[in-house]
Amino acid sequence: MPGIDGFEACRRLKANLLTSSIPIIFMTALADTENKIKGLSLGAVDYITKPFQEEEVLARIKVHLKLHFLTLKVMEQSAALQQANQQLMLLANLDGLTEVANRRRFDEYLEQQWQLQAQKQAPITLILGDLDYFKNYNDFYGHQAGDDCLKQVASALSLAAKRNSDLVCRYGGEEFALILPHTDCPGAIKVAEATIAEVQKLQIPHAQSLVSQYVTISLGISCQIPSSELSSKSAIAAADAALYQAKQQGRNRFYFERLCSQVKISER
């Protein structure tokens, strides 16, 4: 090969994405160990020295082609398995009805963000929401209509929580949760107001509600700066207590339970 030797040819083939996976067998009169090592280190799969037997060459080619295609098959199966695992993980973290995050994902994400915001000494907001008089809704309109209502409300909540880091969850039954990392008290109130407004925009009739002719939601807000004295459970307890107060004060509203003494200006 004028101007190029086998080593350079091998190097170029391995550097090209179109040819890099092709098995390369060196066939040469250079039988010393140093040249063999050099060829193999450049990516060759085998080394045949001259003189050679045609049967041996063909046998080695067949072996390496078989290994090559088996490797490709394993890689394809591995990629398919990885994709299947990703889909399973996604399904494991989603609520089957509303297609927002489920309670399992809620617990996991809240703890992750609690630890992260603790390191940054940044606020984290948790909002718990409960659809008002939803049992009456199910009893009057039926569970199929109730399921459709939950789907619409989940979509409305997703519109209110706009940041990529915000997470909307189905907490259980007709209860929802919003985890808002790096969100201070004023920002929490903005999201709560937007949440109530988005649910009202749906205008889902609710003849059995005692507060409105449409489906409404009550919210409890907890905003905290994580510290060694507090755990993520304190955020849940505070938001739950605030939600109770929102219901006691007439529903279709939010109540704010603030546990942080100093909060930065909202960036939402």
Residues annotated as catalytic (active site), given as ranges: 174
Looking up tokens 């739950």, which residue turns up?
240
CA gyration radius for the chain?
31
Alpha carbons 217 and 129: distance in angstroms, whole number:
6
Residues 6+ apart with CB under 8 A from 93: 101, 102, 104, 105, 108
Helix 6-15 to helix 33-41 angle (10° resolution) is 20
Alpha carbons 224 and 238: distance in angstroms, whole number:
9
Residues 6+ apart with CB under 8 A from 179: 106, 109, 110, 113, 124, 125, 126, 166, 167, 169
**Cβ contact 202:152 at 8 Å:** yes
